Amino acid sequence: MSRKYFGTDGIRGPVGEFPITPDFVMKLGWAAGKVFLERQGDRRPLILIGKDTRSSGYMFESALESGLIAAGVNVGLLGPMPTPAIAYLTETFNAMAGIVISASHNPHYDNGIKFFSSNGQKLPDDVEMAIEAMIDQDMTVVDAADLGHASHVTDAGGRYVEFCKFTAPRNFSLQGMKLVVDCAHGATYQVAPKVFKELGAKVISIGASPDGRNINERVGSTHPEALVEAVRENEADLGIALDGDGDRLLLVDHLGRIIDGDDILYVMAKHRHEAHDDCRGVVGTLMSNMGLEIAIRQMGMGFVRTKVGDRYVVEAMKKHNWPIGGESSGHIICSDVQTTGDGIVAALQVLVAIRSLGVDLATALEGMHRYPQKMINVKVADKSALSGCREIWTEVQRIEEALGDSGRVLLRPSGTENLIRVMVEAKSDDLVEQYVNPLAELVVKALS
């Protein structure tokens, strides 16, 4: 389906540039309110709004609030709150929908709007298309007696903290552990440290002083160097790096090594396998390391890859009825405890795993052997020409035959630029270098 405004994860862009403008966001709120009211069933005519710590969030919060009230919808204002908290609270309050104002791991000068349905999951395609169609209609205002009203939800943070804690087993304790928690100066800066402290850990917080402009700036999961340094300086057992809206997670072990989403999925799967949980497989993406796939299969579990994007991961998890999946970037979904990617919950699942296994994080990872990989971004004149370029695909087939089961090749057009991402993964760095550079040069020659 052709989309006019929505991307794979809501609507996002630079603040002040269409569509991330106050007038468009007000119209978006109105259109969403109209669509959800038409489909509300027996749910309260309530939509929750949460945001991260960007200065522009206040502007867009007011715009959404105005549009929703004009459509006749009541609004619950959550304030700064992680994206997964909004998913949870939407379902808890039996609201029609939840709206997140955030650009996730992007810098402060970007922002975005994304939605959760009443069950705390991403919106189905047909609802997004209905909202887009409504945006193109003339905006009207309901009668004064039917206007919605707004109120602040004062206990939102406390509710979410308790929810996170209850995703761990009963009586689970982090007593004796020292953790460094990097909140990226984002939406988790209040709730994340509380979760781990209340479970008994000694917590050192960094990236927990937002000023509206420093979100994700040299901190968080996209810049884990600060966490590495803090873990080493404080001799911590583990470091937790969240992103600006709290749906992404990277870890740092006690040795100061960065642990990405593939590593996290392996530890979770290993724990469930040894605990004889009903976990028959794991969902990764095209970017997941071959080492993860091999390690998962060696445990007797299934492994499937999807396109990049947590939406596709969730779809595959539902299809196979598997409880864990995620991306190398740190979007981790544990569908048996949360409806969407949740950095705090994923971190707790890893902590539960290593406590249960009786080892530290570094030791828990010893069964996974990562394959070297290298990606080159190649600028081309027309990325769409890749699919029909016989010369390139003949060479890809030759490389794949040479690598056999010990490597793979991935060519992936960028979603936003005229770029082809050329990736080769193999058992050794020498093999990767042998194939990736000549293949990238061929792509340049054939498509430029």
Q: Which one is catalytic: 104, 221, 288, 335?
A: 104
- Residue 104 annotated as catalytic: yes
Alpha-helix runs per DSSP H in 136-175: 156-165
DSSP track, 75-124: EEEEEE--HHHHHHHHHHTT-SEEEEE--TTS-TTEEEEEEEETTSSBPP
- Torsion angle defined by CA atoms of residues 386, 392, 398 and 400, in that order, rounded to the nearest 10 degrees: -30
| Other CB atoms within 10 Å distance of the CB of residue 121 | 17
- Give Rg (Cα) of the chain: 23
Give whole-number Cα distances, 221 to 8, 252, 281, 366, 373, in Å. Answer: 21, 10, 26, 23, 20
Residue with tokens 């209040």: 190
Dist. CA 220–CA 310, nearest whole Å: 19
Cβ pair 444, 392 in contact under 8 A: no
Encoded tokens for 443 = 């792509």
Dist. CA 295–CA 303, nearest whole Å: 10
Give whole-number Cα distances, 249 to 41, 42, 366, 386, 402, in Å. Answer: 36, 36, 20, 33, 35
Dist. CA 179–CA 237, nearest whole Å: 6
> Is the alpha carbon torsion for 311, 315, 318, 320 positive or negative?
negative
Give whole-number Cα distances, 410 to 139, 146, 331, 371, 439, in Å. Answer: 46, 54, 21, 14, 11
Residue with tokens 């091999």: 294
| Other CB atoms within 10 Å distance of the CB of residue 154 | 10
Instruction: Give the type of residue at 394.
Output: T
75 contact partners, CB below 8 Å, separation of at least 6: 46, 47, 48, 49, 64, 65, 68, 69, 148, 149, 150, 151
3-state secondary structure of 150: strand
Q: How many residues does the chain have?
A: 448
337 contact partners, CB below 8 Å, separation of at least 6: 167, 345, 349
Active site residues: 104
